[in-house]
Each structure stands twice: as structure tokens, then as C-alpha cells.
Structure 1
Amino acid sequence: MIFKNHQQILPETILIMMDQSDSMSIGNRTKIANEALQQLQNKVPKNVRTKIVTVHNAYQQGTQLFQSIQKATDEIPASQLGGVVLITDGQVNDVPKKFPKFLTLPNQKTVPIYALLPASKEQTDRSLKILHAPAYTIVGKEATIQVQVNDTGSPQSGDATLTIMQEDKQPITMQVPVGKPQNITIPVTHTGKNLVGLSASPLKGEISEINNHQTLYIHGIRDKLRVLLVSSAPNQGERAWRSLLKSDPSVDLVHFTILRSAEQNENIPDSELALIPFPVNELFMQKINQFDLIILDSFENRYTLPSYYIASIANYVKNGGGLLLISGPEFAQQFSLQNSPLRSILPATVLSPTDVIEQKFKPELTNLGQKHPVTKGLNKDNSIWGSWYRYLKADHTEGEVLMQTPGQSPLLILNHVDKGRVALLLSDQIWLWSKGSNKNGPQAELLRRLSHWLMKEPELEEEQLSAFIKDQKLTVEWHTLTNNINNQDFTVTSPSGVVQPLQFKTIENGEATATIPAKEDGIWKITNGSLTAYAAPQTSDPVEMTDIAVTGQKLDPLLQQYGRMYWLGDTPNHLKVPDIHVVKHDKVNGNSSVMDFPEHVTYTTTKQSIHHILSPWLALIIGLGSIFMAWYRESFS
């Protein structure tokens, strides 16, 4: 018998890459691309199939078309890949310098690549690029930004007008050369986000002005924050403060523990004296304004500071400084700071030593403390907070009480005094949250927030207003301690100067939000007179939307050797879609109106059949006859 294989010719596959990145949404490009794809499918010859792959822009990387081609070709046998058709605007960010290996056939021949562009010719466009911008700059310094204005489809010559907008400042205009990097300086005036808007003058005949604008945020940071920590005697809590402040690289800590007063005289020669007098005059008179925060830890003014030095600390706070007092039993004694010129700025007082309560308790947040940025979110699981064993019972308070005992006796009080801030902790037991079996409690986070609130960090302000624009919607978020949000007259000013009211709705504790349409490019301003925020639309993929003109310049070096480029036209109803021809390798003639794909003849076995040389009955007769003849010969020989 004979075995016979039945084979079938496999269809050739043409890979069609549909660019649907953000830049393809400009004008009629998407409609032109869809119509071209429909016409292309109608022109596909028999025994040829197509594989269509849609490509979107990668996050922050623009259009990665060839990366998608490589993934798609992994699913197509190399012997069946006839070629690749790109329907794209030409803004491809991963065009290889050499022909990619994944488009090379096993016989070392290359696969043709054709590009269909949704325009009639190279388009004209102007773009503004930010080449370099610092993320952070010290407040009071200038940030240097490097920008460049580029023209596509037009000579890179002449000047363009660059407009610089910075929040509520007047716009600044300057002339910059086209096609050359240009450095500009921006003053950073406050901590937190400084919003900067840049705009290049339009180019005559350009396809769109959407990429003539750029916005960026420069975060203003302080230089080294200088903190003075003074302890009147060694205690358990000073190590917690020292460890926290020394671990913060932005803090420059000066720490003194007073072991002898300036007036003490032990009649010991200076050469043998290990302890130096406390430099009160230098710290509290000459250099006090150099500090951003002063911490007095369990400070008892027993012959330590004359009253005029204490008065200097009070004036320091009133002029904008920050003061934190951690109070223990000494606060209720005769030499307490509340019996000094500092009393005028203290948020609470304690009447007598009998108000020093020594009993086990667990601190808790007040209702206000659950809203305030210094303590908000610290009580997610306060059931496991460790206990303290001593607190001071205040007779009256001023300011904001954020923490209390279970009996509602204030523990942590914050207050604004003129231009400065004061915080008073009516217990010296917070260090227990970092020791032994009591090691439960947000000690580090609470102390960090508390010190940074005193140094006026924007993210810890009681009243905060922030805004952002996404998908042409302006969202404003307001953190507030007030209970009535409807009595606040907020307005929104668009880049064109149109003013409209803004209504908030409450979400949860201290949080309110509002949303309005925002279709204009530029800087939007939201304010109620005391609070102000700025926002500007920012693209999710700056790489994708910087260059938006339909162009063949990026693909041309590759297609000149391995394919061809076709301009489809400007309207979906009148497109010039080339025909598709499948020809032998030696018949590719380079006709400009036709896309030639080399023929690949590949077979697959569909089934296998068996053919007999003789019929079964004849084979049986011959077999039996052979057996009979052999028997006869053996028997009668």
C-alpha cells in the first residue's frame, strides 16, 4: 500500500497597525484612518488574510508602534508574514535605526513596510518643549528652565514670542529664537507648588495651537530648617525629639541641655571646667530670628533665663516664629514659664501643683483633632495606643484642642499668635510610645506633623485649597475646619478672565469638593479672598502631544529602503488608498500606486490516506496460491 498526504496552501498574512494614539484624534485623522482601513480590507486578494492591531500611546512614552509590531509578529509564523501596513500620523517614538530582526524572514529576506498617512502632505506646526526644569527650588531663589520652540513643515529660523505666566503675577513676554534652546528664570516665591505657564506665539498655517502651551509645577522648599531644642534637665523625652529631628535631612538641629546656669560660679578654673555656661545672649537675642522653631522641653526657668530673654522669645513668636512647649510637673511649679513674660502667648495655664494628675490613661483625638491636618488619620486604630501616666489639668485654653484625656482634659493645644504659632503638650509622657511594651502610638508621625505645622508647611495648614484639571474638568478640593461651607464666597477665574461662582459639597470630616467644566488652556484661579489655588490643564502624555503634525520625516529613513509612504488625503470621502498585489519576490516592481507583497507559498497537511496496489481478494488468492505451491513443492520433491 501507498501513503498519500493531502496538503492545503496557507494564506499569507498582512499585519495592519492602526495608530489610535492621542495625536490621531486631531482633526479628521481618526475618520480618515477608519475609512482607509475599510477600503484596504476590500482590496485584500484571495488567499490573503489580515491581522489588525490597534496601538495606543504608552504612558509618558508617546506612540511605541514598533514595540507593538514585535508583539504582534510573535503570533504570526514567519513563513506566512507577507508585510506590514502602518496607518499612522507618523509621530512614532520608537522607529529603529536599523531594520528590525523580527521583520526578517528565515531566508534573510526582509518584510516590506508601508505607511498610510492621514493628510495630503507634510503639515505645518509649532511646538513648545520644556527641555529641562527643576522639580524643587529653594524659596527666594530662581529656577532655571530650558525651553525650545520648534517649527515643523517650516524653516527653523526667526524668533517666536514666549509668554511666561506665574499664578497671580503679570505675564512676561520675551523673544526666543526658533529651533534653539533658551534658558529662562522663574522666581520661586512660596513653599509648595508654584504653577508656571508658558506659551509660544502661533505660527501661520499651523495645524493646531494645542502644543504651543506648556505648564509645570516647581515645588518651593525651604533651605535648611533651623530648630533650637532646649532642655532644662536631662529627661526621657529629649531623646525622642533629638532622634526625630536629627533623622530629618531638611532640619538643622541645635540642642542644649542646661546643666548649670549662667550665674553659677563653682570657683573652678576654666581650664578644668567641662561644662560651658549656656549662651543665652547669643541664642535668645543675637541669633533668635535665625531659627524656624524653638522647642522648650520640660523647661523650668530656675535662675536660667532673665525675664528679658523670655520676652525675646515671646516677641520672636509674635513676629512669625514657632514655639513648642512640652510640659511636665515643672509647668505647675513656682519657676514655670507661665509665670514669665511668655504667659501672654501660652494657649493654656495650670493653676497649681495639685493639677498634675498621675494616673493611667490613653490619649484620644477630639472632634476637631479628627479634622485637623496635624492629627487627622492618626486614630485609625487608637484602640492599640499605649497608655500615658501623667498629664496637667488646664484651667482654661485658647486655640485648637486636638488631643485630650478620656475625661476631656486638653493634652495638645495649638494656637496662632499674631504672625507666629504656639503648640503646648500638657504631658511629658509621649516618649512612652517608643519604649518597651507600651510601644504603640503614632509618636514619630505626630511629632513630625507638629513641628512642621509650627514651621508653616503648606500641607499642614488648617485651611487648604487645591485644584487640578483633568479631562477638561476643574476639580477643587477644600480642607477646612469650618462646619458651614455654604457661606464661603469662592469664585473661579478662567484664563480669558471670565469669573463664575463656585459651590462646594461636603464629602467627609473637613473635606469639600467642587467640579466645573474647564476647556480653556492656561492658568485658572480659584479664591475666596483668603484662600487661593491655581490649576492648569496638563496632558497625561507630554511626549505624545508635543509633536502633533502629520509627517513622514521620522519613518522616511526606514521606508526608503524597505517600503514606501502614501499620503491618503485630507478628507475621508476622497482618499487615495493604494491597491494590494501579491507577487513573486523577483516581480516586485515598485509601482507607486500599489503595495506589493512577496508571495509566500506555505503548505499544511490536512489529512493522510492509504492506497492499495492490489485488491484485497486478489491478494488473498495469490497468497493462498503461494502457500499451496510451497506445500506441494515441499511434499513431492
Structure 2
Amino acid sequence: MIPAGTQLRFDPALPWWVVGLLAGLALLVAGFALWRGLRGWAWRGLAGLAAALALAGPALEIGSRAGLSDIVILLDDRSASQSLPERGAQTDAAIDALARQIAALPGTDLRRVTVGDAEDGTLLATALSRAVAAEPAARLAGVIAVSDGNLHDPAMLPAGLPAPVHLLLTGRPQDWDRRLVIEEAPAFGLIDQEVTIRLRIEDQGAVPDALRGGSANLRISIDGEAEQTYAVPVGVSLELPVTPSHAGQNVVQIGFDAPGGDELTDRNNSAAISINGVRDRLRVLLVSGEPHAGERTWRNLLKSDAAVDLIHFTILRPPDKSDGVPVDELSLIAFPTRELFLQRIDDFDLIIFDRYRVRGILPPDYFANIARYVEEGGAILVAAGPEMASVEGLNLSPLGRILPARPTGRVIDAPFTPQLTEDGRRHPVTAGLPGAPGAAADAGAAADADAGADAGTDGAGWGRWLRMAEAEPAPGAQVAMTGAEGKPLLMLSRVGEGRVAMLTSDQVWLWGRGFEGGGPQLELLRRIAHWSMKEPELEEEALLADVSGGLEVRFTRRSMQDSAGPLIVTRPDGQTDEVALAEVGPGRFTAVWTAPEPGLYRLQDGDLRRVLALGPAAPREFEQTVARGDALAPLAEATGGAVVRLSEGMPELRRVAEGRRAHGRGVGRDWIAITPREAATVTGLERRPLLPGWAWLALIAGLILTGWLAEGRRGAPLRAGGGAAPTPS
């Protein structure tokens, strides 16, 4: 136990103003006696003051205290940048040596704080502030950080601390690095329109003379396609034009060849940028061969989508119509065939032929140009009616060579319920349609439907259609839906770079009118149109990655096959993982996987490949890799601490008095110091009256008696008769 000191306390028996009044009265009486020249005035005054003091209740407060240990905070930086050459070994050795030295100091406790990777980088300043706030300031003897100094939250550093702050800097003086810096990158871009990425290649640290400046080979790849290489100068900002080629995520991978020369790391030599491709407007040309009940279905569907620019023509007066009305008296608009199908055809994303008949309006060269348009990436959708089985069907034009079906010339006029095929249950255009039947209809069920039997049960709520044209699918075409007698109803095919879809019935409008319960008319037509325009969510062979948050990824593999996977995932460091995919529905396989770190991942399942960027364009931990102490140096200087390089040796730990310099150069090596705070806590408290009550009473009485005796000495000897003799003049 250590004495905590003795203090004088007061516990007045009466209010302080009464005690003060009594003291003032005593001083007034003493002053009056002094003015009259009476002996004993001082004793009377002291007696009054003693009475006032006794009423004030003076007491001695005696306490005892226990000494508290000093606290040293040790920050152990274990972020990703600390894994660079030699830094891990330097950190381990420094932490072990400091732990031993602090343990050997009497009355000193160690608080070790480990700083790892965070989403925003190395938050060492935040960890420092929290650790300091958690300890009593009176016990803090020092803060020692073992780090490369690359922290990403310098604004969180405290302005000052009551103890010295030291930074033991890892790394080597000869360290250097070359990195890719993405200065500006867009998050969105219009499909087929250029966007600009601003970047530069930058050198840091002690760059070898042979590699200083010069140029580097910059490699660029979009969605894992073939790389393009350019020689670019180092240290100069460049603008890189990139064109998103499809909707959804376009991953641009940018990197340069490692320069050699013992570069610190190549982890910051590349970056992955995700640009979400969006369409400005979808341009659709709808050509109706004649007015009919389902004509408005397509128009209403396409006009309801604000992202669609629709041009709709309905042929009301074909060339073979002879009604005797002069052309100059007609109010119809002439069909601009040359402008639409020769000059402007490549401006359209989709062309729909709705019950179109070949009547000489479009010459054969125009149909051949439409076929060329599809083969080069365009899309057509044919919604056919009875005309498909006639000599006016599109299959007999030059366009017929790319159509997914060949009509037999037969029109089936009988009610039927559309059914999904096995391919239809897997294809994203028809998979999961509301009310889809549980099993494909066989020929017997179709025959019953033709005979007039109610097929509503097999259709799970879908209404029947009343007519379709018989057709045989072309090689390579996918039959997604069947109709009467199990004949193909909806066929999808790819031709060159483009796509073709065909409905062999014009009765889909019955679903929209609610006939026999109706069906998913708008959803089916929307999917057909958007598949034709290559929307990523409707690709039948696709590998999707949904990053819900952090590094957890949900993989979805869509396939027309019965199985998929395992998925091969290539990490940023080149290691590979195999991820098993589980079937969750027809043609859909999924898996949930957590990535070990941010970066660029390559996905592969068979011939299907994809690039996935997780985290920032380049890991923040490797934006600055050369060890530097400039972020912590001001705080260290303000608190009397120091920045010491571990490459020059482990410093010695000392104790110095508060206010003295806490670092210096000893014999052969540097030293750093902590400052003992000598903090203590009070463990006991005792209060004793300055004097007991009887002592105060005796003191006051003694002072009064002494004053009375002093005043009595002035009297002369008494005269005879009891009178006092007069004093001679």
C-alpha cells in the first residue's frame, strides 16, 4: 500500500454563514478591545476564532493507494501488403522481441491489437484510436506499431497522445514497384458506343536506373476474349476507348507485362473493370401482312415497353387487290420498302413478320438482304397463320433458307392446348411460364384434344388455341412448344450471328382475351422478343454470377443438357478450385461459393467461359506497396516518438521519464522508449477530527481565562476601607 496523502476537510455543525458570523464577531470584539487599549484583546479574539473553527468541524482525511501498471499498446499489422517479401518475417521477429522486452519491464502490461484486411483497406488508424480510447489515459505509457505504414484511414489518427508513438517500419530501402492506376472508369455504357477509361502506369520507390521511365506493354481484353497489346509510356495518363458489346456485365481486363528487376509484386499490374452494358433504345420493325384479331397483340406488347421504339406497318391494300379505286384517291401511306429493308435495315434490333404473305411487295433481293441481316447479328420473329401453308408463305422466298421450320402445306383447324417439350422446360424463353403443364402431351392426348376432349387439365390452366399450320423443324432448330398432334408450335434457332423465332399459329391472342382461362401471353411474347434481341438473362447456355455482398457468389449455370459442371474457378494468384453445381430445376444448376480475396476470377464450364471481378478494380492493399512512414510520422514527432526501419535492426526498448526524448541512437543500434506514468488508485480512506470536542472546549476556555488574567494585572493595591488607592498623577 502506498500513502495517498493527508488532506484537511471540514464538516460544519452549523451553516457556513453562522460560522462566518461568529468569526467576524470575534474579530470585531478583539478590534474594539485593541482600540480601547484593553489588555487581553488578542486572547479574546483567538477564543472567538477557536469557537468558530470548532463549529466548522475540521478533520484530517487520510487515504491509502495502490500503484497501477503501465499499459503499452502494440499494433500488429497483418494486412495483405505485409505479405510482400521479408515483411512477414520482420513483423514476426519484431513482435516476439517487443513482447519479451515488455514482459521483462516491472509493472507494465501489453495490449496487442492485430490489424487485418478490411473492405476499405488497412484501417490501422481506426484500430489505434479504438485501442487508445479503451485504456485509461493516465496509464498509457506508449504505442508501438509494426507496419509498412500503408494505412487507408489517416483521417482517424488522433491529433496527440499522452505517451510516445513509435512506428517500426517493415520493408527494405531498395523496394520498388510498378503498378496500374485506374484514374476514372464508367460504371455504365451504351451498347456499341464508346466509353473512356483513364489510366496510367506508375513507378514507386527505388526504381532501378535501367527500368526508370521507358514504356510498358499494356494488354487489354474484354470478357476474356483475345488480348490487344499496346506500348505505352510509364507515368503518363492515357484515355482508353472501350465499346460494350452486349447487355449486362462487360468485364474489361487491363494489365501490363511484369518489368522484372525484383519488383515487389505483380498483384497491382492488372485490374478488372465491370461496365454494365445498357441499350439506349430497342428498335423494332413490325410488319403485319393483313388486319386480323391478333394484330394489336404485338403492337400493345411493344408499345407498353418504354425502352422500345416501334415502327408498325399493316398492309391494307396489297398489289394484287383490284377494287377500282385510283391510287391518288387513297389515303394510305406507301410502304417504304427500300428505305426499311435496304438502307436502314441494320438500324433495327428485331423485325417481326406477323401473318405476312409474299405478294410482290418485297422483291427477292430484299428478302436476301434480310437473311444477310440475320446472319450478321440481326433477329427476326415470324408469327405465322394459314398463309404459312400456302404458296404465299415466307418459306418459299429467299428468306426461307434461314427459317427454323418447313411447312407441309396442311392447316390444322382443331382446338389444342400448347405443351412444353423437354427442351422447352429447359429453355429460358419457356421455362417457368406461369401455369406450365407438368408433363409434355403425348400423341394420344393430342388426338383426344383434336377430337374435342378438354385438355385444360394437362395444360394446368392454359386455354386452348384453335388453329395452327403443320411444319417440320429444320436441322438445328429447338422445338420449345408443341400444339395439335404434337406438331411444333414454337421453334427457336440460331443463324450465323443472329437468331430466328417462329410461331406456327396466329392464335396467341386468345390467351390475352382470357379464352378458357387464357395464358401467359405477354410473358411468352416478351421472352421471345427479348431472346431474339440477345438479352443475357434469356441465353439458353449461360453462366451467371450473382454477387450478393462481400465475397459470396451464387453461380447459376443454364444449359440445355442434362448435367453441368463442375465449375472451374481460377483465382487471381493462378490457383484453381472446382465447384460442384446442383440441379435446382430443368436446365438450371446452382452453387454458392465464397471467394478467398478480391480480384479477378476466371470461370469455365466446358467451352463456356466468363470473367468475374470481385471487389474494387484493383485491390486497395496493393495500390501503395512501398513501405513508407509519412502517414504516422507527424503523430510520432508530436508525441516524442520515432519511425525506425526494421531493416536496420531491431531497436532496444527503454523507459524514460515523462517529458524526455523517447528515442535515440545507442551503442550499435537505435532505441525507443516508453514513459512510466506512476498511476495509482485509492484503496482506503479514513477521516479523523482535528481535535475531539473536549479538547476544543478546553482550548476555548483556556483562551478566555488567559485573556481575563491578562486584563486583571492592570489593577492597583486596594485602599483601607476596601477602596482602591488613587493613582498618583
Q: Same fold (TM over 0.5)?
A: yes
Task: Say yes or no: does 1:146 pair with 2:203.
Answer: no
Contact map agreement 1:148 1:182 (CA 8 A) in 2: no
Mapped pair 1:164 → 2:216: no
**Cα 1:417–1:92 shift into 2, 3 Å:** closer
* CA distance, structure 1, for counterparts of residue 517 and residue 652 of structure 2: 79
Q: Closer, same or farther in 2 for the Cα pair 1:63/1:406, shift >3 Å?
A: farther
Q: Supply the distance in 1 between the matched residues of 2:110 and 2:92 (Cα, whole angstroms).
A: 15
Tell whether 2:626 aligns with 1:555: no
1:587 to 660, 668, 675: 660
Q: Give deviations 1:268-303, integer Å, cap 9, x for gaps.
A: 997x97652333443234433432311234x35497
Q: 1:424 aligns with which of 474, 480, 502?
A: 502
Asked if the contact 1:12/1:49 (under 8 Å) is kept, the reply is yes
1:347 corresponds, among 405, 408, 415, to 405
- Range that drifts further, 66-75 or 23-32: 66-75
Q: Which amino acid aligns with 1:543?
A: R
**One-letter code of the match for 1:66?**
A
Quick one: which amino acid aligns to residue 17 of structure 1?
L
Give 2:73's aligned residue: 15
In 2, are the aligned partners of 1:127 and 1:149 still within 8 Å (CA)?
Answer: yes
**Native 8 Å contact 1:301 1:337 kept in 2:** yes
1:385/1:202 Cα in 2 relative to 1: closer, same or farther (>3 Å)?
farther
Aligned counterpart, 1:568: 646
Distance in 1 (CA, whole Å) between partners of 2:560 and 2:386 is 32
Aligned to 1:402: 480
Asked if structure 1 preserves the Cα contact closer than 8 Å seen for 2:61 and 2:688, the reply is yes
| 8 Å contact from structure 1 (residues 552, 565) kept in 2 | yes
| Alignment correspondent of 1:95 | 154
Q: 1:623: which partner in 2? A: none
Quick one: distance in 1 between partners of 2:614 and 2:142?
38
Matched residues in 1 for 2:317 and 2:133: separation?
A: 80
Q: Is 1:129 matched up with 2:181? A: yes
- Matched residue, 2:371: 315
C-alpha spacing 1:173/1:354, structure 2 compared with 1 (3 Å): closer
Alpha-carbon distance in 2 for matches of 1:117, 1:407 = 81
Instruction: Decide whether aligned partners of structure 1 residues 316 and 430 sit closer, same or farther in structure 2, where only a CA change above 3 A counts.
Output: farther
Equivalences, count: 580
1:478-515 Cα offsets, whole Å, 9 max, x none, are 754345889xxx999999x9xx9x99987535468999
Residue 227, structure 1, aligned to residue 284, structure 2: yes
Q: 2-side partners of 1:104 and 1:553: how far apart?
A: 16
Give the secondary structure class of the aligned counterpart of 2:647: coil
Whole-angstrom distance in 1 between the partners of 2:436 and 2:165: 62
Deviation of 1:228 after TM superposition, in Å, equals 0.8
Q: Which structure's CA Rg is the greater one?
A: 2
Alpha-carbon shift at residue 24 of structure 1 (Å): 1.0
1:29 maps to 2:104? no
The verdict on how the C-alpha distance between 1:11 and 1:65 changes in structure 2, with shifts beyond 3 A counting, is same
> How far did residue 608 of structure 1 move?
6.0
SS of structure 2 residue aligned to 1:583: coil
Q: Choose which of 271, 292, 300 in structure 1 pairs with 2:349.
A: 292
Q: 1:370 aligns with which of 419, 425, 440?
A: 425
> Letter of the aligned partner of 2:182 in structure 1?
I
Q: Which is further off, 86-95 or 197-206? A: 197-206
Task: State whether structure 2 residue 334 is matched by structure 1 residue 277.
Answer: yes
Check whether the contact 1:162–1:201 (CA below 8 A) recurs between aligned residues: no
Question: Are the equivalent residues in 1 in contact too, given 2:511–2:521 (CA < 8 A)?
Answer: no
Go from structure 1 to structure 2 and tell me whether the alpha carbon gap of 1:276 and 1:187 turns closer, same or farther (over 3 Å shift).
Answer: closer
Q: SS of the counterpart of 1:121?
A: coil
Please give the per-residue CA displacement for 1:433-453, whole angstroms capped at 9, x wherever unaligned.
Answer: 798997985944x54443233
Alignment-derived partner of residue 84 in structure 1: 143
> What TM-score, normalized by structure 2, do the two folds share?
0.63
Q: How far did residue 63 of structure 1 move?
A: 1.3
CA contact (8 A) 1:349 1:396 kept: yes
Report the AA paired with residue 633 of structure 2.
Answer: D
C-alpha displacement at 1:402, in angstroms? 1.9
Summarize the Cα distance change of 1:542–1:447 in structure 2 as closer, same or farther, 3 Å threshold. Answer: farther
Taking a change above 3 Å as real, the CA distance of residues 128 and 415 of structure 1, as seen in their structure-2 partners, is: closer
> How far is the alpha carbon of 1:40 from its aligned partner?
1.5
Query: Do the aligned partners of 2:412 and 2:469 also contact (CA within 8 Å) in 1?
Result: no
Match of 1:58 in 2: 118
Cα distance in 1, alignment partners of residues 141 and 517 from structure 2: 72
1:415 aligns with 2:493: yes
Answer whether contact 2:69 2:109 (CA < 8 A) is retained: yes
SS at match of 2:121: coil
Q: Which residue of 1 aligns with 2:560?
A: 481
- 1:68 correspondence with 2:68: no
380 and 505 in structure 1: CA distance in 2 versus 1, 3 angstrom threshold: farther
Q: Which residue in 1 is equivalent to 2:462?
A: 387
Aligned counterparts of 1:613 and 1:404: Cα–Cα separation in 2: 111
The offset of 1:176, in angstroms, is 0.5
RMSD of Structure 2 on Structure 1 (CA): 5.4
Q: Does the 8 Å contact 1:91/1:548 carry over to 2?
A: yes
Q: Distance in 2 between matches of 1:88 and 1:318?
A: 61
CA contact (8 A) 1:260 1:278 kept: no
Q: Compared with structure 1, are the counterparts of its residues 613 and 428 closer, same or farther at alpha carbon in structure 2 (3 Å cutoff)?
A: farther
Residues 437, 558 of structure 1: alpha-carbon distance in 2 compared, 3 angstrom cutoff = farther
**Counterpart Cα distance in 2 of 1:581 and 1:504:** 56
The answer on whether the counterparts of 2:569 and 2:579 sit within 8 Å (CA) in structure 1 is no
Task: Show the counterpart of 2:298.
Answer: 238
Partner of 1:634: none
Distance change in 2, residues 1:436/1:85 (3 Å) = farther
* Distance of 1:441 and 1:77 partners within structure 2: 69
User: What letter is aligned with 1:587?
Assistant: R
| Consecutive unaligned residues in structure 1, runs of 5 or more | 469-474, 516-520, 616-637
After superposition, what is the alpha-carbon deviation per residue over 1:328-348, rounded to whole angstroms, capped at 9, x for unaligned? 677678976567765552526
Secondary structure of 2:627's match?
coil
Distance 1:46 1:226, change over 3 A: same
Query: Which residue is equivalent to 2:269?
Result: 212
8 Å contact kept, 2:251–2:612: no
Specify the SS of the correspondent of 1:43: helix
One-letter code aligned to 1:42? R
Once the two structures are TM-superposed, the CA of residue 597 in structure 1 deviates from its matched residue by 3.9
Contact 2:350 2:380 in 1 (8 A): yes
**Residues 560 and 533 of structure 1: CA distance in aligned 2, closer, same or farther (over 3 Å):** same
Counterpart code for 1:50 = L
> Residues 64 and 682 of structure 2 are in contact (CA less than 8 Å); yes or no, is this contact kept in structure 1?
yes
Distance change in 2, residues 1:40/1:504 (3 Å):
closer
Tell me the distance in 2 between the aligned counterparts of 1:141 and 1:286. Answer: 24
Query: Aligned partners of 1:448 and 1:566: how far apart in 2?
Result: 67
Alignment partners' CA distance in 1, 2:322 and 2:404: 29
Q: Note the C-alpha offset of 1:88.
A: 1.0
Residue 539 of structure 1: how far off its partner (Å): 7.5
Structure 1, 331-340 or 454-463: larger mean CA deviation: 331-340
Secondary structure of 2:422's partner?
A: coil
Instruction: Give the structure 1 partner of residue 101 of structure 2.
Output: 43
Deviation, 1:131, is 2.1
Q: Is the 8 A contact 1:194 1:220 kept in 2?
A: no
Q: Distance in 1 between matches of 2:64 and 2:485?
A: 93
Indicate how the Cα distance of structure 1 residues 438 and 484 shifts in structure 2: closer, same or farther if over 3 A, else same: closer
| Shift in Å, 1:579 | 0.7
Contact 1:434 1:440 in 2 (8 A): no
